[in-house]
């Protein structure tokens, strides 16, 4: 049957400080149960796109001045980030942002705050997070500020999982991590997608790894989508190979 579109971004424009036009009409579709990659170099507009979806631009003096953002067919662009979390969409910010003075487990528990269900469900979800991230279970009593970059990325994803999302917006999960760890994080994303049915929209500069794990990709350049297609096709595209995979 036809795949359901969860998130639909239609021709959005974003302006910072009333004058700087950064997104110049970006459109994309995120299908339920898929891993969709948002690719492009530094400054292409990936983070801005994710923040536009989560309504996190105000603190940076940015605003969506044109276009629409729908989730399950409903307009979401004026919702608070917390309201969006209730609808099942959560963003994992670039740079991880743990509460450094809390333990790993306390950090994970902060992700459950929007939920109305009981302690039993929360503790079952904590077990689920530890099943996907055994390393976090070992480190659960450690102060988050003293864990490694890879562990902090795991904490950030694990905390998002605690809100029981349907869709995760994941910003630059590979940033600052050694190749082996990047692979490990992407393997976990893949199994969360396959086993929990989680939908992902991930922004990545690391085109190579993203196109190996994603099903579909959009390439952004200077605030516009310049190319999109199934990941397998993008991997074979001569321009993508030359400019993004370094295989000319």
Residues 149-168 that bind ligand ATP (CB under 6 A): none
Q: Which of 19, 42, 58, 73 binds ligand ATP (CB under 6 A)?
A: 42
Single out the residue of 6, 12, 40, 161 in contact with ligand ATP (rule: CB under 6 A): 40
Contacts of residue 19, defined as CB under 8 A and 6 or more positions apart, other chains included, come to: none
Taking alpha carbons only, the member of 8, 13, 36 closest to residue 23 is 13
Q: How far is the CB of 102 from ligand ATP (least distance, A)?
A: 26
Helix (H) or strand (E) holding 219: strand 216-221
Q: At its nearest, how many Å lie between ligand ATP and the CB of residue 208?
A: 16
46 lies in the site for ligand ATP, by CB under 6 A: yes
Please identify which residue in 48, 103, 163, 174 interacts with ligand ATP, judged by CB under 6 A: 48
Tokens of 90: 């959560």
Instruction: State yes or no: residue 43 binds ligand ATP (CB under 6 A).
Output: yes
- 67: helix, coil or strand? strand
H helices of the chain, in order, are: 46-54, 81-86, 104-110, 119-132, 134-138, 149-161, 179-196, 207-213, 231-236, 238-243
Residue number, 122 or 168, with CB nearest to ligand ATP: 168
Looking only at residues 189 through 248 of this chain, which bind ligand ATP when binding is defined by CB under 6 A? 205
Contacts with ligand ATP by CB under 6 A lie at: 16-17, 20, 22, 40, 42-48, 60-62, 172, 205
């Amino acid at each position: 049957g036809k795949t359901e579109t969860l998130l639909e971004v239609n021709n959005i424009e974003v302006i910072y400080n009333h004058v700087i036009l950064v997104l110049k009409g970006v459109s994309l579709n995120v299908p339920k149960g898929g891993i969709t990659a948002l690719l492009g170099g530094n400054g292409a507009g990936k983070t801005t796109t994710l923040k536009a979806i989560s309504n996190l631009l105000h603190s940076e003096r940015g605003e969506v001045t044109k276009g629409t953002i729908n989730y399950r067919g409903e307009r979401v662009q004026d919702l608070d980030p917390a309201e969006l979390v209730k609808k099942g969409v959560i963003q994992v910010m670039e740079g991880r942002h743990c509460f450094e003075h809390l333990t790993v487990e306390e950090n994970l528990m902060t992700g459950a705050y929007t939920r109305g269900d009981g302690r039993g469900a929360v503790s079952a979800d904590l077990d689920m997070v530890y099943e996907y991230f055994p390393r976090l279970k070992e480190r659960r009593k450690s102060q988050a500020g003293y864990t490694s970059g890879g562990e902090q990325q795991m904490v950030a994803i694990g905390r998002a999982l605690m809100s029981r999302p349907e869709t995760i917006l994941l910003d630059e999960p590979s940033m600052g991590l050694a190749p082996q760890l990047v692979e490990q994080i992407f393997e976990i994303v893949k199994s969360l997608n396959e086993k929990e049915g989680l939908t992902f929209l991930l922004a990545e500069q690391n085109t190579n790894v993203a196109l190996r794990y994603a099903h579909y990709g959009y390439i952004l350049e200077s605030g516009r989508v310049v190319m999109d297609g199934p990941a397998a096709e993008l991997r074979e595209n001569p321009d993508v190979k030359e400019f993004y995979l370094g295989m000319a």
